[in-house]
Amino acid sequence: MTNKRISFLIARQFCRSAFRSNALYAILLVMAVMIGFAAYSGWKIYTTQNAIRQHYQHEVRASWENNPDKHPHRMAHFGSFAFRAKHPLSMFDFGLESFVGNAVYLEAHRQNTVNFSEAGFSTGLLRFGEISLAVLLQVVLPLIIFFLGFASVSEEREGGTLKILLTQNVSWRDILVGKSLGIFLLAMCIAIPAVAVTLFLILGTAQNVLITDTLLRFAGIAGVYLIFIAVLCVITVLISAASASSKSALMKLLAIWLFMIVLLPRTTQALGSYFYPSPSKIEFDTAVELDVLKEGDSHNPDDPHYKTLRDSVLRVYRVDSVQQLPFNYSGFVMREGERISAEIFRRHLDKLIATYKKQNRINELTAWINPYAAVRNISMALSATDFESYVVFQQEAERYRYQLAQTMNELQMKFISNQKQVPDDKPYTISHEHWKALPDFKPQQATIGTALRHEAGSVLALVMWSILSVLFLIRLSKKAKAV
């Protein structure tokens, strides 16, 4: 059993020794500056981008409602825009925000892609990464932990003090736990300010309707990083205790950092694209268009599919021509064409998303051998900056587009005459009051439960890492030697 009192004494002594070094104060100063910069840039990007997107969403709505009396099919082609609002926790973890689009044009008969990503307007330097609070905790803090703890046990062995400790009723487990706790307390000097700044920012900017979900997500993020840091501290001490010298321990820890942070993530990304290649935008759009043409062209009255449809409708209503139908036949055809094209698009989009998920699954599997991957995946999911959050927006936008187009088609069926116009007739129109009846675009954020469900593998992997770190500590405490 571990003697808690001795472990705490060892942790306190380790912290005191660390604070005697000017290097620690230099590290804390640099990290304080970086935390301040990351927090400010995250807040600035969030407030500026959200203000711009909300402004143009209101402008688009006003433009839609201010349209004059018009033919409903012309309104369907006039269309609208959907802008993706940023989640308050995107201030903490940028995730994929800079690489996915934030606005999509919604129109009849056509499903457009989400455009205007930050990466599209930036240089290639953006791919080297952005400084966010999450990046500091995921990438920089592990390096600092390794630097602070690489000599935690090996230096005691080299100086001969380890033998003295072991002869004074101090067990290996006491030493390993105490050193791990000491490094953890030093790491908290960096992690706590980063987490506190995040809480301050979200309390100052989150909307009341989202504050409960946001705080739950924040609590989850804080817990995940707490576990991640604890695991890293234990790994650091175990490597130091198992190494013959401090130099050897430092080299091993640097190799682990390079493997976790640099090599493995880049490799899995490349492997995902290699094993599951995705079509280009042109290939995707062409495939959709070809499938739509196979079903028929709703704008061509002589198209075989729609000619058969017209004949069947005339038989059902027992009339000789579309002019005798009790509804506008053109609106009926547009509604049918919209349904068919939307189904084809959804089928192709689901296939494309499935391909992207297969690519991402390779990275998710590495969470079992790389705690950094597990933490990064969970952090993005809880911050609503992951791929699933983007997919949710895309699906919400498509549902709204479909509703817009079909509402206009139904208005045409109900209010527009079937009789053909002669040159002197006034164009067929309906009242502009109908435009206001269409609800505004208000996408729903995925709940925290949905986010964690998508990252269940990463959550389980992080739990496994925490259990393994304890088991390895217990095992090494039984086998470690003083020389």
pLDDT digits (tens, 9 = 90+) for 238-267: 999 999 899 999 999 999 999 999 999 999
Nearest to 181 by CA among 389, 63, 8, 346: 8
How far is it, in rounded angstroms, from Cα 448 to Cα 89? 12
Domain boundaries, the chain: 4-268+369-401+428-479
Residue 22 confidence (pLDDT): 92
The DSSP-derived string for 204-228 is HHS-GGGHHHHHHHHHHHHHHHHHH
> Chain-centre distance of CA 153, in angstroms?
39
Q: Which residues of 84-123 are buried (b: 16+ CB within 10 A; e: fewer)?
A: bbbbbbbbbbbbebbbbbbbbbbbbebbbebeebbeeeee
Mean pLDDT value across the chain = 89
Q: Distance between CA atoms of 47 and 70, rounded to whole angstroms?
A: 37
pTM of the predicted protein model? 0.90
Higher-confidence residue: 169 or 48? 48
pLDDT band of residue 117 (cuts 50, 70, 90) is low
* Of the candidates 446, 407, 464, the residue with the CA atom closest to the CA atom of residue 210: 446
Position 442 scores a pLDDT of 86
- Indicate whether 391 pLDDT > 60: yes
DSSP 42-96: HHHHHHHHHHHHHHHHHHHHHHHHT--SB-HHHHHHH-EEEEPPPPGGGGT--TT
User: What average pLDDT does the segment 282-289 reach?
Assistant: 89
Structure confidence at residue 458 as a pLDDT band (50, 70, 90) = very high
Phi, psi of 423 (to 5 degrees): -55, -30
- Tokens linked to 297: 């062209």
Q: Work out whether strand 80-83 and strand 103-107 pair parallel, antiparallel, or are unpaired.
A: antiparallel
Read off the tokens for 163. 């033998």
Give exposure, 27-65, as e/b (b: 16+ Cβ within 10 Å): bbeebeebbeebbebbbebbeebbeebeeebeebbeebe
Please compute the mean of the pLDDT values over residues 21-29 and round it to a whole number. 94
Which region among 57-61, 90-94, 202-206, 394-398 has the lowest average model confidence (pLDDT)?
202-206
Q: Is the pLDDT of residue 127 over 90?
A: no
- Of the given ranges (192-206, 337-351, 438-452), which has the lowest mean pLDDT? 438-452
